[in-house]
């Protein structure tokens, strides 16, 4: 009976930014748990290639997550044509590194649009339908930078702090409608977004010493947290930020 709480059969999940990295791993993991997947990304060719790697058919929904009107139109059309989106994973994100005193304004604005505005745009578009049904799961992808900071990524840190607080706000506003809105905050994972750091021996050495687990995370290690938050196992979990980070946020 307890394992049935984690079963995602009969649920449809939309994962933004799911052509690679964390988004792809979470989509695959939920598909393995029984969910029907809807992939989203900026590059149609890359997204189509990602869809081929699933053992069962998946749907693809191309729209710009940073465009409020495009997100709402795509979600409304999909719901009308295909039915409910039961789970939303707001994963789309980007990084830009540089000293804060010289940080380019256009890069700062792109970070805001991609990492935080998209969570609002897609989250609101999907929630409007979930509210009518009286149920739904929204999982936002935060970061250890929701709680911590490192040199050269202050704007990224600001966006991930905002993701954490927007998650709390979503839960506060929408729990009464039967929605559970939570966040997963990954630590340092070997992903395309972190490629420059992974290839830097000095950084990897620092990370291994700084993280109690002593290593980079593997994207597959985020799947369990996502299935938990997407399933009936978490029906009374709301506004929570679940750190999956090898212990880096709890250790000095």
By annotation, the residues acting in catalysis are: 156
Cβ–Cβ < 8 Å for 78, 38:
yes
For residue 5, the 8-state DSSP code is: G
Q: How far apart are CA 131 and CA 142, in angstroms?
A: 23
DSSP 90: E
Does residue 78 contact residue 85 with C-beta atoms inside 8 Å? yes
Q: Give helix 105-112 / helix 154-174 axis angle, nearest 10°.
A: 20
- Residue 243's beta-bridge partner residues? 185
The residue ranges of DSSP E strands in 40-82, in sequence order, are 59-60
**Element (H or E) spanning 104, and its range?**
none
d(CA 217, CA 194): 11
Report yes or no: 59 and 39 within 8 Å, Cβ to Cβ.
yes
């Amino acid at each position: 009976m307890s394992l049935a709480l984690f079963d995602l059969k009969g649920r449809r999940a939309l994962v933004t930014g799911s052509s690679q990295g964390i988004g792809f791993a979470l989509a695959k993991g939920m598909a393995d748990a029984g969910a029907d997947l809807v992939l989203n990304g900026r590059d149609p060719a890359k997204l189509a290639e990602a869809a081929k790697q699933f053992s069962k058919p998946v749907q693809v929904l191309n729209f710009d997550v940073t465009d409020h009107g495009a997100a709402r139109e795509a979600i409304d059309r999909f719901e009308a044509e295909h039915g409910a989106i039961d789970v939303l994973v707001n994963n789309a994100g980007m990084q830009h590194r540089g000293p804060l005193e010289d940080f380019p304004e256009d890069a700062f604005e792109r970070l805001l649009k991609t990492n935080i505005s998209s969570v609002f745009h897609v989250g609101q578009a999907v929630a409007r339908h979930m509210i009518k049904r009286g149920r739904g799961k929204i999982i936002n992808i935060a970061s250890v930078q929701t709680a911590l900071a490192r040199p050269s990524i202050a704007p990224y840190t600001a966006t991930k702090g905002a993701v954490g607080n927007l998650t709390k706000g979503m839960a506060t506003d929408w729990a009464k409608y039967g929605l559970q809105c939570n966040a997963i905050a990954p630590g340092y994972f070997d992903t395309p977004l972190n490629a420059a750091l992974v290839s830097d021996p000095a950084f990897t050495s620092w990370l291994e010493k700084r993280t109690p687990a002593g290593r980079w995370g593997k994207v597959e290690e985020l799947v369990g947290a996502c299935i938990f938050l997407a399933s009936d196992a978490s029906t009374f979990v709301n506004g929570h930020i679940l750190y999956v980070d090898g212990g880096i946020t709890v250790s000095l």
